[in-house]
Structure 1
C-alpha cells in the first residue's frame, strides 16, 4: 500500500510540472484626464509683447495668445490647453528678443515662468 501511495505521489509530483499556472492578465486602466489649466507668470524685468503656445505635434505657433494685451513684469495670465500632452511655448519681449521652451507636458506643469534668462516650467 505504501508503495502505491509512493508511486502515486511520485506520479502526481511528475505531473505537477506539466500543470500550467493560470495566466494573469494585466489590466491597464486609463488615467484620469489631466487638468490642462496653466498660467504664464512674467517674473522678468521686461514686458512680454507676444505669447505663443501650441501642441508639440503642430507646425507653427498660431496666433499670439495675448492679442492686443501685453504681459507686464509681475503679472500673470491663465489658460487652458485644448488637449493633453506636450506643448511648446514662445515669448517675445518688448525689445524684440524671444525665448522658447519645448515639449512641456501640461498634465505635469501648471506654471510657465518667464525670467530674464528665458522660460521655465514648474
Structure 2
C-alpha cells in the first residue's frame, strides 16, 4: 500500500532524485566522519578542528554530488555560494531545534536528535531543489 501511494503521489523523476539525494547524503556523512576521525586520531588535531575539517569536506562532497548527480547542474560559484549559505543555515537551524526540543520542550536528547535528523534532510532537499539548484 505505501508503494502504491508513493507511485501515485510522486513522479518517477522525483523518486529517483530523492534516492540519489539519500545516497549522496550518506557518502557526505561518511566523509565527515572519516576525515574528522583521521584528523583527530591520525594528525592529532583538536577534536573541534577535526570536526570542522570533516564538515567542510562533507560540504564539498554534498555540493559536487548533489550538483552533478541529484540535480544535474554544472559547477558555478553562484550555486556554491547558495549551497554554502543553505548548509550553514540548516546546521544552525538544527542546533536551534535541539536547544528548543531539549531545553524548552524538555524532550529526551535521543528523541530531539531523531526529530532533527529526520527534519533537516527534508528541508535541505526542498531548499536545494527550489533555490540552490533551481534550473
| TM-score, structure 2 normalization | 0.23
| TM-score, structure 1 normalization | 0.24
Bigger helix fraction: 2
Bigger strand fraction: 1
Structure with more relative contact order (C-alpha pairs < 8 Å, separation 6 or more):
1
